Structure formats: C-alpha cells, structure tokens
Amino acid sequence: MLSPDSAGMREAAFVRRLDRHTRPLERVERDLAIAIETMALFVRFWLAVTPPLPESAQAAAKAKGAERYRDFVETLGRRLQRGNSLVREISLEIWPEQRSDGAGSAAPIDPDLGEGDIADAR
C-alpha cells in the first residue's frame, strides 16, 4: 500500500474495469441506433405507400389493426422469451461469416413470423 507503484497499479485496474464496461455500452448504443433507424425507415415507407381509407372502410380497418396489434405483441413476447434479436438476425444476414455454427449462411426464418403472418400484414 505504501509503495509508489501502488497508485499506478490501482489506476491500471480502474482503466481495465472501465474498458470492460465500455464495450457492452458501445454495443447497446449500436443496437439502439439500428433500432431507431429501422423504425424511422419503416414509418417513412409506410407513410409514403399507404393510401387514405374511405370513411366506409375505417371501422373495419380499425378492427383489423387491433387484431394485428394483438398478434404483434404476442409474437414479440414469444421472441423476447426465447431471446431472439432482430438486430442479431440482421447482422447475420449482412455478415453471415459471424455465425457461431460456422455454416456461413443466413439465419433461418423465425417460426413466429411465417409467410402467412407476412401476407396477413399486407
């Protein structure tokens, strides 16, 4: 404790600990930026291509929207319980060499979001 080197050793230990916290925070920041950009692009696209509904169709559209929202929340809940991550899936599509199984191919389609779900959302 009285050694002149002890202050330097303590400082080096603090730097190592801070470095261990910095990397995960950088990943969280990256994932959040991806999520925000994804949502912004989706909203921009949706607003650009969705025509306004006539007054007579609005009640049915609201009911269908509520049903789709319930399905969305259920699907999201299942994915979160399993630990699925859209950011990870997108990363694997962009950089398939990062797969842990070494297969080098795109991630399989999520069983919670089958082709019928995609078609229903259109």
Residue type for position 82: R
Annotate 14-77 with three-state secondary structure.
HHHHHHHHHHHHHHHHHHHHHHHHHHHHHHHHHHHHCCCCCHHHHHHHHHHHHHHHHHHHHHHH
- To the question of pTM greater than 0.85 for the whole model, the response is no
pLDDT tens, 43-72? 999 999 999 999 999 999 999 999 999 999
